[in-house]
Chains A and B, each alone.
Chain A
């Protein structure tokens, strides 16, 4: 079989995509297809599960199998796919609102369960699809269409949340640091157990405009200056400048995943003979 190129994971019939100029979604989608191509995963063995939102539209452009569920529930749909057919590679694409705000409960439980899914949460700090409302990842004081006087609430550090909940793999990347993002997604897919990759991305149309963050290019440059590699000396000191965030692999462990643990349950049940009625 000839090697699959990244383009073969895309459904080019569906292009052009609906994302705004300057949006990072296309870059993240490119990173995902390159990771799939590097792993040479057969397209029929990959199920991409998405939620609702701009990033949740990504399945429309993919030539793998896909399930586009409801807002906040993508991880729960994916849990059913994976628990029923552990041999499939299941990748879950969610916006920050989808994956962490309305869907926050499923996120912590997928991590606790350590089920072998790869969640790619694209964090653009607001609800892109519905007009730029506040999200649980909107920084405090930021202006959105529903926080005209500044956000009174604090934002989540999603990576710390998912790490604490027990995921085997936690990473953060940006759509500026593309080769690293490709690797982070690839490693998340190969990792057994729950993998979580937060992708920091600009939303120039809503968040950038309301917070006067400049053009799409300036927002992209800001990703470069604000991101601190977790392996850099600056990261080791533990003191990050205001507005800075860590990128790279933030947690990497090998606890047994749900599939392994449930196989043990099935063995015990079968040894016992099962039917007791």
Chain B
């Protein structure tokens, strides 16, 4: 699931599984995320404990110092993401993990990472809210918060794992995308995936594709930390290297010093969008759990923990061809994949553990041509396949029979 060898339709991880160094382990999702981070090269973790994400902190506290890295437990989540940003600017891959309340506290400083173009990874293991809510039951209700939770115009990448293997693979991908685009990436897991245990294959480290941030090649006195290359991404030096540079949460020019000129501000904000939107081929990941050439009666669009029960339900639909399209990248929203899949289906169903978030985006993409149905639940419980089957029956009776 590395960006370089990713294909549009991908049910298999493409890393080499045959090597001697490959390890097969029975891991929890959170443990797999910690393993994935270390495999991706992360050597700094700052965080504040919160269920259902705490096992990530615990694993990092044990493993990072053993590989020469640093684990630091901060006084709160505002400080955790701040420390991650500071560490990343020294050239160290850095990340944090949290859940609902802590993710809310991180929003302001996530904006610093976006505007300051600081690569880092934030894991949000979603739990049931609002507020302390049903601690610590599953939910998928932070999809919109992940995208829109901060003030100001900005854009970012959000990935969502559905299996423990994907917890590992997508954590590697998250770091690779963060480094590639000099941007924060959010891994939006959920309590079910994070606390589930499964067999996982940890590939030989030598077989894992690792992306590192672009460093400047110019003489130090010519370095402009916010002057983009043609791909829209500026090279990033390390604090302490021969390059001296400023990073600021204020609007800034290419030199990284604060600047209030409207033309500069407009261009900068626009570039924060285009540096991602011009490279969707590298960012958008989906999995077709059916043959994408097939015509479907019902397309079921899932992400994270709804994927498994939806796949089980899709297999149990008598006289009806249903297929599951799993969104791996949630933001930028994979419009083209959904449009293409919806073209070949008569109706669309979106089951999600919230009262209607991803369905809004699916409706936007599909338009009025095809009916889009939801199955929404926000009571701290996951879906059973039977619940999804029952909804499929209703949809079928309404418009497919």
Residues in A lying within 8 Å of B, measured CB to CB: 11, 14, 43-45, 47, 49, 52, 57, 59-60, 63-70, 72-73, 75-85, 87-88, 105-106, 109, 262, 265-266, 268-270, 272-277
Contacts and interface: CB of A to CB of B under 8 A. Distances in A.
Given A70-B108, A274-B66, A277-B31, A81 B82 contact: no
Given A76-B78, A84-B92, A106-B79, A269 B66 contact: yes
A-B pairs with lowest CB-CB distance, top 5: A274-B66, A80-B86, A80-B83, A76-B79, A76-B82
Given A59-B248, A68-B247, A277 B79 contact: no
Nearest to B65: A269
A9 B127 CA distance: 48
Interface stretch (B67-75, B272-280, B340-348): B67-75
A80 B65 contact: no
B66 A275 contact: yes
Given A87-B240, A88-B239, A262-B65, A68 B82 contact: no
A13 B145 CA distance: 40
B246 A59 contact: yes
B83 A83 contact: yes
Contacts of A60: 257-258
B35 interface: yes
Given A14-B257, A67-B239, A70-B112, 6 more contacts: A66-B247, A67-B89, A68-B250, A76-B79, A80-B44, A80-B85
A93 B35 CA distance: 37
B27 interface: yes
Interface of B is mostly: mixed
**A75, A78, A83, most chain B CB atoms within 10 A:** A83
Contacts of B7: none
28 contacts: A43-B244, A44-B220, A44-B240, A52-B249, A59-B246, A65-B246, A67-B89, A67-B248, A68-B248, A68-B250, A69-B112, A73-B79, A76-B75, A77-B82, A80-B44, A80-B72, A80-B83, A83-B44, A87-B240, A105-B75, A106-B75, A266-B65, A269-B63, A269-B66, A272-B66, A274-B62, A274-B67, A275-B66
Contact of A80 (B25, B27, B87, B108): B87
B44 A81 contact: no
Contacts of A44: 220, 240-244
A81 B86 contact: yes
A277 B44 contact: no
Contacts of B35: 277
B46 interface: yes
Contact of A78 (B86, B88, B245, B250): B86
Contacts of A52: 249
Contacts of B92: 84-85
B21 interface: no
Contacts, number: 156
Contacts of A266: 65-66, 68
Contacts of A57: 258
A62 to B, nearest CB: 8
Given A81-B86, A277-B27, A88 B75 contact: no
Contacts of A105: 75-76, 79
A84 B75 contact: no
Given A68-B258, A79-B83, A88-B239, A73 B109 contact: yes
B53 to A, nearest CB: 18
B62 A269 contact: yes
Contacts of A83: 44, 46, 70, 72, 83, 87
B343 to A, nearest CB: 44
Contacts of B25: 277
Contacts of B72: 79-80, 83
SS class of chain A's interface: helix, strand, loop or mixed? helix
Residues of B in contact with A, size category: 35 or more
A73 B59 CA distance: 26
Nearest to B258: A60
A60 B82 CA distance: 20
A113 B355 CA distance: 43
Given A67-B86, A68-B258, A84 B70 contact: yes
B90 interface: yes
B159 interface: no
Interface string B84-103: 11111111101000000000
Contacts of B31: 277
A109 B89 CA distance: 22
Interface string B102-132: 0000001100100000000000000000000
Contacts of A81: 86-87, 89-90, 239
A262 B70 contact: yes
A218 B246 CA distance: 37
Nearest to B32: A277
Contacts of B74: 76, 79, 109
Nearest to B75: A109
B234 to A, nearest CB: 16
Contacts of B241: 44
A119 B94 CA distance: 24
A270 B62 CA distance: 10
Contacts of A49: 86
A158 to B, nearest CB: 17
Contacts of A77: 82-83, 85-86
A38 B77 CA distance: 37
A60 B252 CA distance: 11
B179 to A, nearest CB: 16
Given A64-B244, A77-B82, A69 B90 contact: no
B94 A80 contact: yes
Contacts of B27: 277
B240 A70 contact: no
B235 to A, nearest CB: 15
A264 to B, nearest CB: 10
Nearest to B70: A83
